[in-house]
Amino acid sequence: MRLNSAFLACGAVSLPGVIAWGSLGHITVAYIASNFVKQETAVYFQDLLRNDTEHYLAGVATWADSIRYTKWGRFTKNFHFIDAKDDPPSYCGVDFDRDCKEDGCVVSSIQNYTSQVLDTELWPWRRNQAAKFVIHFVGDIHQPLHTENVERGGNGIHVRFDSSELNLHHVWDSSIAEKMLGGIHRKPYEAAYRWAADLTNEIRSGKYANSTEVWVDGIDLDDPIATSMKWANESNAFVCTHVLPEGPEAIVGQELAGEYYEKAAPVIEVQVARAGYRLATWLDLIVDRLSESGAPVGEL
């Protein structure tokens, strides 16, 4: 499928005056994680990230997007996704060897940057940067279109949402979540903070309380590839069921803010909740490992 290329240019860069795409989801994931990490983990990352407020994770959650289009950061451009060469809606599934590009993907990057956070021989600024990548990529991998090859993760699929002309990737990055919260135009941190508080309650004692064990089942710091492949594959399965349920051709030009949105919203919600809870668990495992190995935890 070939689509309007002038349109594509808009989706790829953030426009002045508009909140960076996807920031609401990333910041919410970070706030949820900070609600679930152990005290020791919070202290450790507050120190590494040089921010002793409750915003220490949220404040760096979108950093990786901010450097992605700079000259220095260009090498990270493929680290945000894994392009499954599947065939939605009839076949979904991610395969690491087939789908991870030679210069990296979100799965290899979670491994790469986790190992750097764990490596206390590295300079603190390198480990600080690595932590910011891990926080961001655990969010990205939970967005179904960050695990899909079709039209570059839907960037090349032109749709409508509440009458705006958008691409499908943007709808899943931002529009669905923004509509769920009643429209967010200026203050993503406040909106994310409140959304994270709601999802935290759902995880602690609401509709997700019986799911957390399953969410972190098999999570293994010694095998970051298998761990994040499981997350990628789970996320990608939604491409067949909710993102492109009738295939890529059928969705072109459709208005998605109606029935499509009603089905998509619970997917966005559970994916943000899972990402936040898993990120907390992952950061706890990192700090457990560092303290076992005798590294001075809480003091860099």
Ligand X SMILES: *[C@@H]1O[C@H](CO)[C@@H](O)[C@H](O)[C@H]1NC(C)=O
Catalytic residues: 21, 26, 65, 68, 80, 136, 140, 146, 169, 173
Q: Which two tokens stand for residue 208?
A: 């997700």
Closest to ligand X by CB, 165 vs 190, is 190
Task: Work out how close the CB of 34 gets to ligand X at its nearest, in angstroms, rounded to a whole number.
Answer: 11
CA distance 178 to 181: 5
Q: Decide: helix, strand or coil at residue 213.
A: helix
CB of 83 to ligand X, least distance (A): 15
Rank residues 141 and 237 by Cβ distance to ligand X and give the closer one: 237
> 10 Å Cβ neighbour count for 225?
14
CB of 89 to ligand X, least distance (A): 11
Nearer to ligand X, 10 or 122 (CB): 122
Write a three-state SS string for 42-107. HHHHHHHCCCCCCCCCHHHCCHHHHHCCCCHHHHHHHHHCCCCCCECCCECCCCHHHHCCCCCCHH
Q: Which is nearer to ligand X, 105 or 159 (CB)?
A: 105
- In the complex, the residues that contact ligand X under the rule CB under 6 A are 51, 53, 55, 59, 75, 92-93, 104, 108-109, 112, 207, 210-211, 214, 233, 237
Token pair for 117: 């956070």
CB of 69 to ligand X, least distance (A): 16
Q: How far apart are CA 144 and CA 232, in angstroms?
A: 8
